[in-house]
Amino acid sequence: MNPAKCCSGAKTCEPAYLDNNATTQVDSKVVETMLPFLTEHYGNPSSIHKFGDPVGKAIEHARTQVQRLMGAEHPSEVIFTSCATEATSTAILSAVEAFPERKEIITSVVEHPATLQLCEQLQRKGYTIHWIAVDNKGRIDMDAYAAALSDRVAIVSLMWANNETGTIFPIRGMAEMARKHGILFHTDAVQVAGKVPIQVAGSGIDLLSLSGHKFHAPKGIGALYLRRGAKFRPLLRGGHQERGRRAGTENASGIVALGMAAELAIDAMQRDSARIAMMRDRLEHGLLARVPNSFVTGDPSQRVPNTSNIAFEYVEGESILLMLNQLNVAASSGSACTSGSLEPSHVMRAMDIPYTAAHGAIRFSLSRYTTDDMIDRVLAELPGIVERLRMISPYWDPEQNAPREEVFEPAFG
């Protein structure tokens, strides 16, 4: 295994960034829009003088842009936050405080840590958490969900699409079911915002979180949708900003950027979704055809258009990523070793993916900046990387170039 040369066999040496579910490139139009709010428009929007005025107006304009992306009825239903983690925490803790007599929460086992760890913390404090399971394709157990709904539940919090596999939950139907029981419904829409149309108005969704940097806004800005009339308690107190629902001086440049990114996303969804899905499918089919013992995780029939998660059996994800990185290709993995947690991704485990495959699951996530050339690079390089690593894997028989027939069972586990 020689040190990998950059771009062997590929046309260019441009980086192939295929980790857009982690974060995205900021659109240059977004940067252009936000810059004046870091320079000449430095006023506090709460001030009465002419320095504050344009900032306040720009924030309200951004609010209508985000409202349109969410498909909300009123601009005032949009609350700007520092990130989606804050939005999600605000939603769940608000419900807990607004309905103190309700001591149960419904969520799923495949949520983002922002939800998972907050619910674990509430569990420690005595709340009953209904952890709804998923099947081996990452589809939620609807029977268990229906059975958990009751007037003891303060809030349902479920992700719209999974960050690792892109699998979409039937959020609209689930929100309707919660509404019939008078339960607040929150969805973490971080992985759908800017990828598929949302339209919260008229749905049973009461609260929705999104994050700017997942759709070409900068990091440090998110938003919470709060349906008008839904009972609410703020997380941050001490200011009238955001109608007293989120105290703290506004991140004006970030908010303006989020607004512009939302506006661009509405157009881009129309224009680019089909192209992104085609590239994703070409990558996926190409890899499955070129690499034996590999399979797609999650539910390909219910999936956001930009995500593909492929498990390569008998190799470990971090090793694949390190070798891809040498070739200027960026992707990510649910492998234990990339996180330091020593356990493979909770999403892979929830879907009952065998350990020998879960550790080798690689997520490719595309964006409107992804090119066919990038896909070609991965198709050219990855099969060789997997093969090199399999050749030194104790689970692989290098002579047969196939999984070892006798079972490899190491001591201790």
Q: Find the part of the chain contacting other proteins (CB under 8 A) among 27-35, 187-195, 244-252, 336-344.
A: 336-344
Active-site amino acid positions: 337
What gap in Å lies between CA 318 and CA 360, rounded to an integer? Answer: 8
User: Per CB under 8 A, does 355 bind other proteins?
Assistant: yes
**What is the closest distance, in whole angstroms, from the C-beta atom of residue 105 to other proteins in the complex?**
19
Among 39, 394, 400, 405, binds other proteins (CB under 8 A): 394
**What is the closest distance, in whole angstroms, from the C-beta atom of residue 188 to other proteins in the complex?**
23
Which position has the token pair 């947690």?
Answer: 341
What gap in Å lies between CA 37 and CA 43, rounded to an integer? Answer: 9
Q: Which is nearer to other proteins, 164 or 263 (CB)?
A: 164
Q: Which is nearer to other proteins, 186 or 363 (CB)?
A: 363
User: Per CB under 8 A, does 39 bind other proteins?
Assistant: no
User: Per CB under 8 A, does 124 bind other proteins?
Assistant: yes
User: Taking a C-beta distance cutoff of 8 angstroms, is the pair 297, 139 a contact?
Assistant: no
Q: Which is nearer to other proteins, 119 or 315 (CB)?
A: 315
Which position has the token pair 């390190």?
Answer: 322
- How many residues bind to other proteins according to rule CB under 8 A? 40
Q: Find the part of the chain contacting other proteins (CB under 8 A) among 19-27, 78-86, 268-276, 390-398.
A: 390-398
Q: Which is nearer to other proteins, 81 or 335 (CB)?
A: 335
Using CA of residue 21, residue 25, residue 31, residue 37, what is the dihedral sign?
positive
Q: Find the part of the chain contacting other proteins (CB under 8 A) among 9-17, 24-32, 171-179, 314-322.
A: 314-322
Pairing, β 294-296 against β 307-312? antiparallel
User: Taking a C-beta distance cutoff of 8 angstroms, is the pair 74, 88 a contact?
Assistant: no
User: Per CB under 8 A, does 326 bind other proteins?
Assistant: yes
Among 195, 359, 368, 377, binds other proteins (CB under 8 A): 359
Q: Is 114 helix (H, G, I), strand (E, B) or coil?
A: helix
Cα pseudo-dihedral 311, 316, 320, 322, rounded to 10: 140
Q: Which two tokens stand for residue 144?
A: 């268990």
Burial class (CB in 10 A: 0-12, 13-18, 19+), 125: exposed
DSSP state of 383: H
User: Per CB under 8 A, does 318 bind other proteins?
Assistant: yes
Distance of CA 39 to the CA centre of its chain: 32
Kindly list the residues in this chain that would bind other proteins in the complex (CB under 8 A). 1-4, 124, 314-319, 322-323, 325-326, 335-338, 340-344, 355-356, 359, 391-396, 398, 408-413
